[in-house]
Structure 1
Amino acid sequence: MTRVETTTDIDAPPETVWSVLTAPDRGWDPFFVRLDGRFAVGDRLRVRLSDLGGGLRFRPVVVVADPPHELVWLGRLLLPRLFDGRHGFRLDPLPGGGTRLHHGEDFRGLLVPLAAASLRRTADGFRAFDAALRERAEATAHV
């Protein structure tokens, strides 16, 4: 297994961060060009990554949806255990009304060792996403 993870503090409450994270408007997002669907366990999302994520399109299944605390989906390349990604966001409240965002993905499968270089770039994409989410959520919270 290979894990890519970032952590970012956001000066906005978890409810605000969640609403920005799950909104269909992705104009602010440099990583997920498209991220929509019902954020409910068992539902499929429509995801398209920007060039930061290799431009991939996929239809992961939501495995955890606990607003405004946690969202996790499972994506697969063709067959189980070939290249699986369990992608998640956890929003922890901070004293003073802020949020600590934990953003990560666990990659498993036969092809994961062959994707090591692209997985390092994935961390850059996560950091770009986190910074943009922080900016958008803080602007929304302070209106």
Structure 2
Amino acid sequence: MELKTEIIINAEPSKVWEILTNFEKYPNWNPFIKTLIGDVKIGKPIKIELQGITFKPKVLTFKKEKEFSWLGHLLFKGLFDGEHSFKLIDNKNGTTKFEQSEKFSGILVPLFKKKLTTETKNGFIKMNKQLKIEAEKKL
């Protein structure tokens, strides 16, 4: 199962990336990811806190101004796994297409499907909108 959201931000990818990767300021603007702590390097674990849940995924990609992704598991691999991704696409006109997605797998996914397609997707959309506001007000 996959969730995917996108938004056009009226700012260059460098500006969007600067905000997206300034993890210390997440509590000031990010309504979805409350905190992100750790050494953000490929293969390293990070600690992420959402509303009511904390998990420690491993960083999969961290390509400056292009992509940031991680893979997390609930308890152990195969139970409930999520590969989360942020992609920044340069529209070459001063705007950036920001995509946020997550691929879910594991035996518990059907149990959480309704919550994922409502609450989790709404969290993505809220974060995207706030990222847009942050990037556009700093022009």
Same fold (TM over 0.5): yes
Q: CA RMSD in A?
A: 0.9
Moved more, 37-46 or 95-104: 37-46
Amino acid aligned to 2:18? S
Q: For 1:71-82, what aligned pairs fall within 5 Å after superposition?
A: 71-82=68-79
Shift of 1:22: 1.1
Give a deviation string over 1:65-119, Cα, whole Å, max 9, x none.
1011000100100111110000000100013211000100000000000001210
Establish whether residue 119 from structure 1 lines up as the match of residue 120 from structure 2.
no
CA contact (8 A) 1:22 1:36 kept: no
Give percent identity, aligned residues only.
35
Structure 2 Cα separation of the partners of residues 22 and 138 of structure 1: 16
Give a deviation string over 1:11-55, Cα, whole Å, max 9, x none.
1111111111111211101100002323210111111012xxxx2
Task: Show structure 2 runs of 5+ residues with no match.
Answer: none
Q: When the two structures are superposed, what TM-score results if normalisation uses the length of structure 2?
A: 0.94
1:90 matched residue in structure 2: 87
Structure 1 Cα separation of the partners of residues 34 and 135 of structure 2: 17
Structure 1 Cα separation of the partners of residues 45 and 110 of structure 2: 27
Q: How many residues align structurally?
A: 136
Establish whether residue 109 from structure 1 lines up as the match of residue 106 from structure 2.
yes
1:4 matched residue in structure 2: 3
Structure 1 Cα separation of the partners of residues 133 and 93 of structure 2: 18
